[in-house]
């Protein structure tokens, strides 16, 4: 998510992105559709959210709060400042989306992206209002910063990626060892140092939204929306499950009433998602313990 800047006359970033997509392996439908949708916006094929309407569509907290221009919450996320901004965001999203969509399924991933788009925008507005209006940090001028870009959602997906695949990114930038749970925070600071005009609040909001999914209410909301959508469309979810809450407040997956057998005594009280994650972590942990060197870091 970058503050507004002039657009390049050449679309080198679009050409690079197209080359990368055409030479990539299988790309899941929601991930590919999300990328193509934002490319279409940048090239001006969707007049309602045209690339040249950055001033009218950027995420400007003061306009959203005082003038109720709600469209900015949605439009600002899928508009990019220039071609290279679009390229870097989409390449990062391609890497995360390919793995997460394959793991979560297309329907759930589509709902997750939609919720994250709204949530990151709302979080940016709340943080800006809190810091400038309530806490009095007027010098930051957060309420008047005009930001665009998909990077807030990408940071949220980074948190999810580290949650579901905790041992895949054991090193930062391919050489610096760091626990995966901290990589998003390191990236937050590094991007701000290398690119001062980047929206720090936008990236921070993405991390907060990701944490709200992993440890908070967003997972329950997305699960409810997934089940509701499946019912309305008359389709079955991948494993015919629904989301419930235990008395202690924790959440778990459960099968519907049509399931005749109860396998809970064999699972130590864990949900299917918890079983899969536990098995994957144990497999990866044993592999790394028996390996003298860490495996090569996948390209980011």
- The domain locations on the chain are 2-218
Higher pLDDT, 55 or 297: 55
pLDDT (0 to 100) of residue 186: 84
User: What is the arithmetic mean of pLDDT over 15-21?
Assistant: 94
pLDDT (0 to 100) of residue 173: 58
Q: Distance (Å, rounded) from C-alpha 267 to C-alpha 214?
A: 22
pLDDT (0 to 100) of residue 25: 86
Q: Distance (Å, rounded) from C-alpha 22 to C-alpha 216?
A: 38
Comparing 171-185, 211-225, 226-240, the range with the smallest average pLDDT is 171-185
User: What sign results for the dihedral spanned by CA atoms 244, 247, 248, 254?
Assistant: negative
Confidence of residue 11 (pLDDT cuts 50, 70, 90): confident
CATH topology of domain 2-218: Rhomboid-like fold (1.20.1540)
To the query of whether residue 151 is one of the catalytic residues in this protein, the response is yes
Nearest to 201 by CA among 245, 282, 144: 144
Query: Which one is catalytic: 151, 180, 199, 271?
Result: 151
DSSP three-state, residue 58:
coil
Task: Give φ, ψ of 135 to 5 degrees.
Answer: -85, -10
The pLDDT > 70 percentage for the chain reads 72
The pLDDT mean for the chain works out to 80
Query: Which one is catalytic: 80, 85, 161, 203?
Result: 203
Most confident of 54-68, 109-123, 183-197, 251-265: 109-123
Higher pLDDT, 132 or 263: 132
User: Between the CA of residue 295 and those of 31, 175, 229, 289, what are the distances in Å?
Assistant: 26, 11, 40, 12
């Amino acid at each position: 998510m970058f503050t507004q800047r002039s657009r390049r006359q050449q679309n080198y970033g679009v050409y690079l992105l197209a080359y990368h997509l055409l030479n990539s392996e299988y790309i899941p439908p929601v991930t590919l559709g999300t990328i193509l949708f934002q490319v279409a916006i940048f090239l001006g094929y969707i007049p309602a959210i045209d690339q040249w309407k950055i001033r009218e569509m950027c995420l400007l907290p003061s306009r959203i709060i005082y003038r109720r221009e709600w469209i900015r919450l949605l439009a600002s996320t899928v508009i990019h400042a220039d071609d290279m901004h679009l390229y870097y965001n989409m390449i990062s999203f391609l890497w995360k989306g390919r793995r997460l969509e394959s793991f979560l399924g297309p329907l759930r991933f589509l709902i997750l992206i939609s919720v994250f788009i709204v949530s990151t925008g709302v979080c940016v507005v709340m943080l800006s209002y809190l810091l400038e209006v309530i806490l009095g940090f007027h010098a930051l001028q957060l309420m008047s910063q005009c930001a665009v870009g998909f990077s807030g959602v990408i940071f949220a997906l980074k948190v999810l990626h580290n949650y579901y695949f905790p041992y895949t990114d054991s090193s930062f930038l391919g050489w610096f060892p760091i626990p995966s749970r901290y990589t998003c925070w390191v990236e937050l600071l590094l991007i701000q140092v290398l690119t001062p005009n980047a929206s720090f609040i936008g990236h921070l909001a993405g991390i907060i939204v990701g944490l709200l999914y992993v440890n908070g209410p967003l997972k329950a909301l997305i699960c409810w929306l997934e089940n509701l959508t499946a019912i309305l469309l008359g389709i079955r979810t991948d494993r015919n499950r629904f989301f419930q809450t235990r008395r202690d407040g924790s959440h778990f997956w459960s099968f519907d009433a049509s399931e005749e057998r109860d396998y809970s005594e064999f699972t130590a009280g864990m949900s299917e998602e918890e079983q899969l994650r536990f098995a994957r972590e144990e497999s990866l942990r044993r592999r790394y313990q028996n390996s003298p060197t860490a495996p090569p870091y996948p390209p980011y």
